[in-house]
Structure 1
Amino acid sequence: MKNKFNKDEIDNLYINIGKKVKEYREKNNMTQLELSYAMGYKSVSLVSSAELFTREKHFNLEHLYKISRILNISINDLIPTH
């Protein structure tokens, strides 16, 4: 069976997850640095890059779990639907 998913679709998913994280982070009046620290990181590099999907950096499942707990939301809130 041939893979039906192309790179653009997957990239678009990561872009939209980054937008969702940014939206909820800002609703919680939290900076990228504050979220990074709360996740256990010492710089904004991951959060900044993943929110913007620069250098094809993205949040993985562990990141999304931590973010959902920190922001007190469901992990499902971070996953865009079609």
Structure 2
Amino acid sequence: MNSSDDLESFSEEILNTVSKNVLKYRKEKGLTQMQLALEIGMSGGAYLGRAEIRKDNHHFNIKHLAKISKILDVDICEFFKS
């Protein structure tokens, strides 16, 4: 059985991987944080920027990722690959 610390570490690793990949694919498409944020229905780029670098434990939720995958034309599974 996994300990609580192991599970927490595992989930943090996934969140970090997702954030890194969103940043990578956004840059590949040539979009700014503000442009992508507006495309997915956010009012500004601040939250998206914090989620990309995991500042203050911000992260993307599944709804964000579904929208981002459509806008960037990237299979959502790509965000989870190390």
Give the TM-score normalised by the residue count of structure 2: 0.88
Alpha-carbon distance, 1:70 to partner = 0.3
Between Structure 1 and Structure 2, the one with more helix by share is 2
1:7 and 2:5 aligned: no
Alpha-carbon distance, 1:79 to partner = 1.1
Q: 1:27 to 1:2 in 2, by over 3 A?
A: closer
1:21 and 2:26 aligned: no
Which secondary structure does the structure 1 equivalent of 2:60 belong to? coil
Q: Which runs of 5+ in 1 are unaligned?
A: none
Runs of 4+ in 1 over 3 A off after TM superposition: 1-5
Give the TM-score normalised by the residue count of structure 1: 0.88
1:55-74 CA distances to partner (integer Å, 9 max, x unpaired)? 11100110000000000110
Q: Which residue identity is paired with 1:42?
A: S
Q: What RMSD in Å do the two structures reach over aligned CA positions?
A: 1.6
Q: Which runs of 5+ in 2 are unaligned?
A: none
Figure out how many residues of one structure are paired with residues of the other and give that number.
81
